[in-house]
């Protein structure tokens, strides 16, 4: 049976949530990703004053930007200092992940009331199976978009096609606030001009190798011979590229996901010394463990394996994992296991990034280890009987939020 799969992508989601809070910034270039001390101030007359990107100093990265800022060349994951050179007069706002998660829940609940077969792909995007719903695709898309706007005040873009691959591509055709529909007999013509790098799964390295073969678009890819593709990428990936070029994708919309892991990580504004900055690192490390524990509790999960991730000032990345005797969602137990992992790493360089991960997840019905025990101090500098505190990051010390993916 022919399928109708939609991909819904919220428009500049984090930035759009901020514009709900600060409507006077609509139409202006706004960059989200500043530290909390970059929040707007209010003068004696009640007027808000916003920081400008040109005033930023540090290593932070852009979390997201409005379309006006993107027109100036500022995009997510770009270094703040580079963004400041491109758009010095852009407004700078700190990220508020709690607000973004709240709006995410609202828009997904609104969509589920209309089309319950949903695959959650992150805080700002979902796949929706419309196959069994009555009505034409355009009317359904308009109904869903209005429901999202009513629930959140925000706009979204929707692509509707026969499969997930095509729908994700189509949702980008008419951003922001667009609807793009591709019927089965239109697929080859509509996707032919799309650059191969736009396809989820074809990264920068694969794109460069395809361009080396003279393949820049999906039309080029469809006309390419199989032999050079197999020689360059191997049989499996070449076969997948063959399907991509023809718009073939049989993946179902998965309405229930079993997460493999959950993690939190922080990139520091300045490289921190393992000994001289021990107190700051210890506070950040404990906070990350607490946030991982809170994520597990919220998702009603427990973890059997705890891991850490370090990135040093020479960009070398090191990970370590520890398997527990029993699953846990207890912050003290997670902190202790993460500390044990840390003891197995030679800390010979300053730290650029610190992360904590929980994996081997199971439902909370499993037997939990909530014994906690003595909390290990960071970096193996002794132990403390104190329970993990609610201490946050000190102003300007780090950028913290959910890890990618």
CA dist 216 and 276 (Å) reads 50
Tokens describing residue 218: 């999906």
- Long-range CB contacts (< 8 A, 24+ apart) of 221-227? 221/196, 221/245, 222/188, 222/192, 222/246
Q: CA-CA distance, 8 to 296, in Å (whole number)? A: 27
Instruction: DSSP for 321-370, please give it.
Output: EEEEEEEE--HHHHHHHHHHHHHTS---S-EEEEEEEEEEEEETTSPP--
| Catalytic pick among 18, 68, 119, 125 | 125
Listed in sequence order, the residues at least 6 apart from 146 whose beta carbon sits closer than 8 Å to its beta carbon are none
- DSSP letters for 306-324: EEEEEEETT--EEEEEEEE
Judge contact between 366 and 324, C-beta under 8 A.
Answer: no
Active-site residue 125, yes or no? Answer: yes
Let me know: does 146 contact 272? Beta carbons within 8 Å: no
Backbone torsions φ then ψ of 401, nearest 5 degrees: 180, 180
Active-site residue list: 125
């Amino acid at each position: 049976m022919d399928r109708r799969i939609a991909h819904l992508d919220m428009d500049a989601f984090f930035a759009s949530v901020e514009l709900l809070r600060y409507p006077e910034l609509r139409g202006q270039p706004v960059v989200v990703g500043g530290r909390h001390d970059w929040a707007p101030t209010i003068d004696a007359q009640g007027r808000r004053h916003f920081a400008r990107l040109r005033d930023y100093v540090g290593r932070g990265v852009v979390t997201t930007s409005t379309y006006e800022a993107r027109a100036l060349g500022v995009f997510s994951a770009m270094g703040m200092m580079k963004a400041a050179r491109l758009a010095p007069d852009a407004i700078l706002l700190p990220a508020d992940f709690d607000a973004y998660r709240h709006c995410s829940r609202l828009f997904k609940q609104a969509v589920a009331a209309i089309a319950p077969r949903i695959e959650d792909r992150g805080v700002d995007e979902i796949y929706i199976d419309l196959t069994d719903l009555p009505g034409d695709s355009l009317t359904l898309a308009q109904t869903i978009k209005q429901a999202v706007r009513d629930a959140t005040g925000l706009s979204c873009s929707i692509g509707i096609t026969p499969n997930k691959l095509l729908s994700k591509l189509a949702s980008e055709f008419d951003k922001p606030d667009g609807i793009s529909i591709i019927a089965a007999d239109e697929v080859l013509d509509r996707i032919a001009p799309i650059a191969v790098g736009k396809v989820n799964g074809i990264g920068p390295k694969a794109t460069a190798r395809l361009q080396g073969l003279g393949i820049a678009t999906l039309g080029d890819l469809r006309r390419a011979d199989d032999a050079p593709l197999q020689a360059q990428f191997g049989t499996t990936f070449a076969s997948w590229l063959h399907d991509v070029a023809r718009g073939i994708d049989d993946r179902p919309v998965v309405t229930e996901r079993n997460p493999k892991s959950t993690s939190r990580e922080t990139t520091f504004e300045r490289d921190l010394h393992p000994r001289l900055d021990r107190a700051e690192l210890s506070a950040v490390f404990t906070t990350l463990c607490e946030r991982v524990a809170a994520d597990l509790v919220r998702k009603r999960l427990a973890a059997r394996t705890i891991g850490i991730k370090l990135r040093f000032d020479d960009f070398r990345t090191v990970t370590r994992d520890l398997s527990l005797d029993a699953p846990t969602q207890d912050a003290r137990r997670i902190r202790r296991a993460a500390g044990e992992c840390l003891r197995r790493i030679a800390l010979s360089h300053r730290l650029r990034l610190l992360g904590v991960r929980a994996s081997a997840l199971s439902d909370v019905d499993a037997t939990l280890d909530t014994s906690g025990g003595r909390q290990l101090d960071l970096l193996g500098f002794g132990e403390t009987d104190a329970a993990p505190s609610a201490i946050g990051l000190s102003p300007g010390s780090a950028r913290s939020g959910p890890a990618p993916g």
